[in-house]
Chain A
């Protein structure tokens, strides 16, 4: 079962942040997966189902 989903950010050359098209998914058993924003990825489908259940993806804009 998914516990949290967080958007991952990386630095641009100018120091600004951009979404890296990657989600950090933490499961209740402690497992951590890095999942691409892609319809054909089965873990991304899990994220979509998790969101459909009323959960929210954490987006801190690249801040800690």
Chain B
């Protein structure tokens, strides 16, 4: 039989799951990319800490270390997981206290869900999770347009054991996602929640968000420094069933993460290239930095560490400030301040400091 005549069903269920078709609406669900850091301790405030595309929101719910862990479910193909480790406990949460791990999706990547129409598609979230603390945990789905939300719970049945969880929610026929690069959907895994967020009733459909309905039954993972929580293999897909996790090549995953955050430079590289520039006077260099992936927005936030303006003849002048930047989603024309050397209109390179690490330039366009 010619290959072209073999029916797809003849390939078998496993084979049908091997193709990459980007059915996973989430990025970095296998927790493989951690550009910022692989471990951050003493966390008491929110933000992106380690793993790309996954951040923390916290309000007075203990102190935590967030890390990229190599503890993974056996035989599933994962190499890394996200780990939350409680280092200072809060056994008695105030009403408004909470801890959330979350990921955000652009509205333009959710249009196929047909939300806001009678054909709105169901969504299925699946993930592997592990904790020493058994009990009920909540996942709160929040859509910015219309201030709509839907919460469901899952149960960790056995301590210190990887378990696969699947949560299906129906589509919202009333509210749509904005078709643009702003936040469409927030997926929030609660790890701790005060009574402000637990005092209501779990919704059975999309509803106007109500604080008390977000995390009904949620255990307090912050109640002991012995507590830890792992998650990996996170997949969100259209429909009512969970397929096998869609592994994509590392370079593809990294490129997808670059859209939101790109760290140019690595530790320990001498004269890591950042940009070719020209000095506008003795103590300022303009340079162009081209992004490896088009950014989500035209106005990313920038930061840098241990860069120099250098003539590669006699002087490496430490960059101390960014005075100005002209940017779009493709790159940035940036003006660095540094100590004076040479003359105006001299060519100059912006590179990593040859003697001090880490050296990098960051463009951050995260949601």
A residues near B (Cβ < 8 Å) are: 1, 8-11, 20, 22, 24, 31-36, 38, 40-43
Contacts and interface: CB of A to CB of B under 8 A. Distances in A.
Contacts of A22: 322-325
Interface in B124-174: none
A34 B361 CA distance: 11
Interface of B: 45, 182, 280-281, 284, 297, 299-303, 321-325, 327, 335, 364, 366-367
Contacts of B281: 11
A24 B284 CA distance: 17
Contact of B301 (A8, A9, A34): A34
Contacts of B321: 8, 24
A11 B301 CA distance: 21
B45 A34 contact: no
Given A1-B45, A40-B182, A42-B367, A34 B297 contact: no
Tell me the dominant secondary structure on chain B's binding face.
strand
13 contacts: A8-B324, A20-B324, A20-B325, A22-B323, A22-B324, A34-B301, A34-B303, A34-B322, A36-B299, A36-B300, A38-B297, A38-B299, A40-B297
A10 B335 contact: yes
Task: Identify whether the interface residues of A are mostly helix, strand, loop, or mixed.
Answer: strand
B301 A35 contact: yes
B297 A41 contact: yes
A31 B325 contact: no
Contacts of B322: 8, 22, 24, 34
Contact of B299 (A20, A24, A32, A41): A41
A47 B69 CA distance: 33
A31 B323 CA distance: 17
B323 A10 contact: yes
